[in-house]
Structure formats: C-alpha cells, structure tokens
A and B are shown apart, each in its own frame.
Chain A
Amino acid sequence: QKEVEQNSGPLSVPEGAIASLNCTYSDRGSQSFFWYRQYSGKSPELIMFIYSNGDKEDGRFTAQLNKASQYVSLLIRDSQPSDSATYLCAVTMNNFNKFYFGSGTKLNVKP
C-alpha cells in the first residue's frame, strides 16, 4: 500500500464549476498536509497546506482535512482553464521528516 493515494484522473470539469480532488494517506501519525500544482513540464508549486481538522480557505481554493478518516481534499471553486494541471497531495510528520507524495490527479477544465 502506498503512503499517499490519489486517483490519477483525468478529472474533467467545465469552466466555472467546482473541482474536487481527493487524497488518502496510510500513516495515522501524519500531521502536515500539502497540495501542490504541477503544470506539464514544470516543477511542483505549493498551493496550500493544512495541519488541523476542518477547512482552510485561500481564495478559490479550500483544503479539507479529516484525520479520523485519513482523508484530505482540495476544492477549486470557479474553475478556470488555467487550473488545468496535475495536483499532487503530500503528507509528512512534523520537523520535515519524509515527505510522501501521491501520484497526482490530472485536472482538465474545459472552456
């Protein structure tokens, strides 16, 4: 079993819709959770991080964490074609112990 699991997609949504990206992790001791966006041929860039159960909002992005279910998600409201990319979920214990990345979900936002 991989430490971090994501559906590879592609997830296709129309422009203006809400895109929902999901991630599950296996280590109950995981404490920090990150979402990265990676455009084709580019390096991953951080979108958001979340440490506590519940929701965290930043502009059009909302990260949701449920530690009991070992589940973290990313919602993108008012999706734009420029959001089309691969979204990587990452988890770690505190103090920069190993980062584990999921394989990523490819998102296509259709105009």
Chain B
Amino acid sequence: DARVTQTPRHKVTEMGQEVTMRCQPILGHNTVFWYRQTMMQGLELLAYFRNRAPLDDSGMPKDRFSAEMPDATLATLKIQPSEPRDSAVYFCASGLPSNGETQYFGPGTRLLVL
C-alpha cells in the first residue's frame, strides 16, 4: 500500500528552536509539495519540487523556512528560528504528472511552537 510518510507526526518546541520535518514521497513520484494548514488561512502551498529541483517556493517565508530534496526518497522542510505563528499542520504531498496530476497527501506534522 503505497503512501506518503511524514515524520514527526507531532512536534512541540519553544520559540527560537530549529524544526525539521521529513517526508518520504510515494516511490516513483517525481513531484513533491509542501503545504501548511491553519484554521485562519486554510491550505497554503509553501513549495514544490519536480525531479528534486525546486520549482516554486514563493509561498514560503524565505528568512526562516527552507526546503530541500537531498534525494528522490526524502524531502525536508526546515524552520529556523521557529515562531509561535508557525504553529500549524504541515502536509507533504507527492504526485506524478503522467498520473492525471493527482497528488497524494501524507498524514501531516502537527507543529506547536510555544
């Protein structure tokens, strides 16, 4: 049963700390998305990659957020330093353009910054 995995599932940290979230896309998927979801803003696209290259990260606060794909099986989203307003659920999704542009979401990382 192929699915997107994300770690950690929950993270509580203090303001100013570094947070790293990891995502393993579905094997063979070459497009990876990072989203943030809050009650106020809904689902926001932060960044996405195709074939490990960043295509768009305009939704991401550049001063504190960074996203990378060290290899085809791992995507990371890092926040440094974290702030209380970063508290949200962060979703990773993967997809394959030849598969009808469908993207499949991971279970999310629920982040709370105190």
A contact set with B: CB distance below 8 Å:
32, 34, 42-46, 49, 88, 92, 94-96, 98-104
Q: Are A46 and B48 in contact (CB under 8 A)?
A: no
5 A-B pairs (CB sep. < 8 Å): A34-B102, A43-B105, A43-B107, A96-B31, A103-B43
With A49-B101, A104-B42 given, can you name 14 additional A-B contacts, CB distance below 8 Å? A32-B101, A44-B43, A46-B102, A46-B103, A49-B100, A88-B43, A92-B101, A94-B101, A96-B48, A99-B33, A99-B45, A100-B45, A101-B35, A101-B43
Q: Tell me the number of A-to-B contacts counted with CB atoms below 8 Å.
A: 45
Interface size class of B (residues with CB under 8 A): 20 to 34
* Interface residue B95 (Cβ < 8 Å from any Cβ of A): yes
* Interface residue B25 (Cβ < 8 Å from any Cβ of A): no
- Produce 1/0 per residue, B101-112, CB < 8 A to A: 111111110000
Question: Measured between alpha carbons, how far is A102 from B37 in the docked complex, in Å?
Answer: 12
**What are the 3 closest A-B residue pairs judged by CB atoms, nearest first?**
A103-B42, A43-B105, A101-B43
